[in-house]
């Protein structure tokens, strides 16, 4: 069974919630935890990316674009991604047009994937396409995953986790079945403990997104002690 350090390298440590605890000190702690535990990346909103890259240049940053509903226009998404590239971020997690997804508008989604994928591919930036599996049918999930197979997108991500049902293991298994080894799969949304993380990996996830990263890794080390 993998120990905490091994699992940390698969985890995008999320700092996306806004509330009374969203302080500069909390952001600093998240960056320090990313380095201390060896998390795969620190997942941030665009407005915080420059600050972290300036003060913690060793932190690998992934930025969530068009969070949480994906309803920005394509030009806005492209401009945001370009700005993040210029700031030096290493990855972007982009919420695709959820209205188009819910209405099976595959032509619009294909255009998003083509243009956003070309931008990130040309800049050598790793892109995860967020498709919000909890609000889709299995057939919609299968179709959008097949669509993304023919795009430059690197990874399919299940969910933002924002006021959604938790990502299901069946949806992770479905994505893995469709994309095979051609794309990576990121599971996010409601992953709160070590056993849930382990189940997502067993279902086929390559990457885990969670804000409970520190607690999960410490729990993993306790289980393996």
Q: Which of 12, 33, 93, 154 is catalytic?
A: 93
Phi, psi for 212 (deg, rounded to 5): -95, 25
118 is catalytic: no
**In this structure, are residues 78 and 115 in contact, taking their beta carbons and an 8 Å threshold?**
yes
192 is catalytic: no
Q: Which of 53, 128, 157, 183 is catalytic?
A: 157
157 is catalytic: yes
**In this structure, are residues 94 and 122 in contact, taking their beta carbons and an 8 Å threshold?**
no
Helices (H), ranges, 123-157: 138-149
Quick one: 55 exposed, middle or buried, by C-beta within 10 A (0-12, 13-18, 19+)?
A: exposed
State the residue for tokens 């068009």. Answer: 66
Distance CA 154, CA 55 (A): 28
DSSP readout, 81-115? HHHHHHHT-SEEEEE--HHHHHTT-HHHHHHHHHH
Active site residues: 93, 157, 186
């Amino acid at each position: 069974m993998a120990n905490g350090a091994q699992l940390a390298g698969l985890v995008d440590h999320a700092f996306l919630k806004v509330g009374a605890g969203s302080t500069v000190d909390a952001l600093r702690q998240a960056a320090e935890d990313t380095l201390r535990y060896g998390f795969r990346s620190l997942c941030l909103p665009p407005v915080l990316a420059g600050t972290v890259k300036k003060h913690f240049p060793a932190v690998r940053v992934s930025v969530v674009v068009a969070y949480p509903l994906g309803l920005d226009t394509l030009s806005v998404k492209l401009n945001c991604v370009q700005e993040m590239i210029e700031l030096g971020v290493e990855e972007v997690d982009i919420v695709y047009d959820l209205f188009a997804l819910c209405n099976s508008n595959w032509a619009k989604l294909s255009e998003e994937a083509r243009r956003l994928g070309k931008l990130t591919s040309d800049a050598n930036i790793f892109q995860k396409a967020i498709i919000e599996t909890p609000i889709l049918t299995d057939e919609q999930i299968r179709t959008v995953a097949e669509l993304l197979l023919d795009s430059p997108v690197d990874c399919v991500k299940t969910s933002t986790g924002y006021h959604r049902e938790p990502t299901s293991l069946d949806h992770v298994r479905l994505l893995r079945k469709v994309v095979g080894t051609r794309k990576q799969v990121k599971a996010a949304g409601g992953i709160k403990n070590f056993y849930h993380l382990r189940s997502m990996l067993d279902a086929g996830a390559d990457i885990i997104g969670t804000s409970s990263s520190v607690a999960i890794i410490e729990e993993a080390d306790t289980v393996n002690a």
